[in-house]
C-alpha cells in the first residue's frame, strides 16, 4: 500500500485525501476511506491529537487500506521518529524555513546510512510482524513520504534549495499561513499570493516534486489541480460538516 502511494508521489500523479483536525474517533478512518481517499493526514499541530491516539488511528487506517500520515507540531526527532514507529506512512512538517531544516527532517526520518532514526522492530510501524530488521529498515527508507510545508517568507525564499533535496517528496503549501506572512491574509486572489504559488509550482516542476495543498471546495480543488498541484487533501472536517448541516437547514 505505502509503496504504491510513494510511487504516485514520485511520479507526481493525482492523489486525493483528507486532513483531520478534531474528529479523532475510531470511525473516522472508515469515513475517509469510504469517501474515496487514498490517504489521511491527522493533524497534531493545531488539534488535540496525542501520539497514543495517532497509534490507534494509524493501525485502523492501515487495516482498511488507507495510508495514515501525521502533521507534527515542530521539527523534532521525538515527534518524527516516534510518529513513524507508531505507524505513520508519511510525515508532514510545518514551517520549514530552509534547506538546513529540511535536511534535519530527512536525517531524523531515515535509518542509517541515510539518517539517524533509531531502530525498534515488531511495533506498530511494521504491524507487529516478526520480520528481518534489515528488510524493514530498507523498506522504510524507500517508502517513507516526507512532506515539507512551505508557508512563510523564509520557506518561500529558500524553496528551491529545499526542493533540491532528493528525499523531499512533496512541497505542501500552507495557504492561509503563506498569505498571512506575505501580508495579504486570506487574499488568495492577490498578485503577491499567486506569484508565490507560481514560484512554488515552478520549482516543484523543475525538481520533479509533488505539490500539495488543502482545499474545502470543488472549485478550489480544480483551481489548484489546474495550476499543477497533484496532491489534494480536503478539510477541515469541522467546516465541511457545518456547511452541509447549514445547507440542509436553509429554508
How far is Cα 146 from Cα 40, in angstroms, rounded to an integer?
A: 14
Q: Is the pLDDT of residue 2 over 90?
A: no
Which tops the pLDDT comparison, 2 or 114?
Answer: 114
All 3 cell numbers of residue 109? 526520518
Topology classification of domain 2-249: TIM Barrel (3.20.20)
For 92, residues 6+ apart whose C-beta sits below 8 A from its C-beta are 41, 69, 70, 71, 72, 147, 149, 172
142-191 pLDDT, tens digit each: 999 999 999 999 999 999 999 999 999 999 999 999 999 999 999 999 99
How far is Cα 37 from Cα 17, in angstroms, rounded to an integer?
A: 4
Q: How many residues does the chain have?
A: 251
Q: Is the pLDDT of residue 1 over 90?
A: no
Predicted local confidence at residue 190, as pLDDT: 97
- The domain spans of the chain are 2-249
State which H helix or E strand residue 108 sits in: helix 99-109
How far is Cα 133 from Cα 176, in angstroms, rounded to an integer?
A: 42
92-143 pLDDT, tens digit each: 999 999 999 999 999 999 999 999 999 999 999 998 999 999 999 999 999 9
Instruction: Please state whether 115 falls in left (phi above 0), alpha (psi between -120 and 50) or beta.
Output: beta
193-238 pLDDT, tens digit each: 999 999 999 999 999 999 999 999 999 999 999 999 999 999 999 9
CB 20 within 8 A of CB 41: yes
All 3 cell numbers of residue 17? 485525501
Predicted local confidence at residue 92, as pLDDT: 98
Task: Provide DSSP, 111-173.
Answer: -TTT--PPP--SSGGGTT----HHHHHHHHHHH-EEEEEE-SHHHHHTHHHHHT-TT--EEEE
Whole-structure pTM value: 0.96
Predicted local confidence at residue 3, as pLDDT: 87
Torsion of CA 58, 64, 66, 70, to 10 degrees: -10
Amino acid at each position: 500500500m505505502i509503496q504504491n502511494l510513494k510511487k504516485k508521489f514520485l511520479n507526481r500523479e493525482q492523489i486525493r485525501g483528507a486532513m483531520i483536525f478534531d474528529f479523532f474517533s475510531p470511525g473516522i478512518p472508515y469515513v475517509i476511506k469510504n469517501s474515496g481517499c487514498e490517504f489521511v493526514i491527522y493533524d497534531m499541530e493545531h488539534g488535540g491529537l496525542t501520539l497514543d491516539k495517532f497509534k490507534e488511528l494509524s493501525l485502523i487506517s492501515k487495516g482498511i487500506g488507507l495510508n495514515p500520515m501525521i502533521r507534527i507540531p515542530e521539527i523534532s526527532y521525538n515527534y518524527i521518529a516516534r510518529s513513524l514507529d507508531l505507524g505513520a506512512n508519511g510525515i508532514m512538517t510545518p514551517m520549514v524555513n530552509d534547506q538546513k531544516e529540511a535536511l534535519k527532517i530527512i536525517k531524523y526520518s531515515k535509518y542509517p546510512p541515510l539518517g539517524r532514526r533509531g531502530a525498534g522492530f515488531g511495533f506498530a510501524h511494521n504491524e507487529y510482524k516478526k520480520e528481518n530488521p534489515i528488510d524493514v529498515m530498507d523498506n522504510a527508507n524507500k517508502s517513507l513520504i516526507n512532506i515539507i510545508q512551505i508557508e512563510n517568507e523564509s520557506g518561500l525564499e529558500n524553496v528551491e534549495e529545499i526542493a533540491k533535496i532528493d528525499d523531499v517528496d512533496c512541497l505542501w503549501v500552507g495557504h492561509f499561513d503563506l498569505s498571512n506572512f506575505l501580508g495579504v491574509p486570506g487574499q488568495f486572489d492577490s498578485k503577491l499570493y499567486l506569484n508565490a504559488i507560481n514560484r512554488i509550482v515552478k520549482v516543484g516542476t523543475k525538481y520533479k516534486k509533488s505539490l500539495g495543498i488543502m482545499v474545502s471546495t470543488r472549485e478550489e480543488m480544480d483551481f489548484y489541480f489546474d495550476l499543477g498541484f497533484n496532491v489534494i487533501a480536503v478539510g477541515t472536517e469541522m467546516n465541511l460538516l457545518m456547511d452541509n448541516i447549514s445547507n440542509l437547514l436553509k429554508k
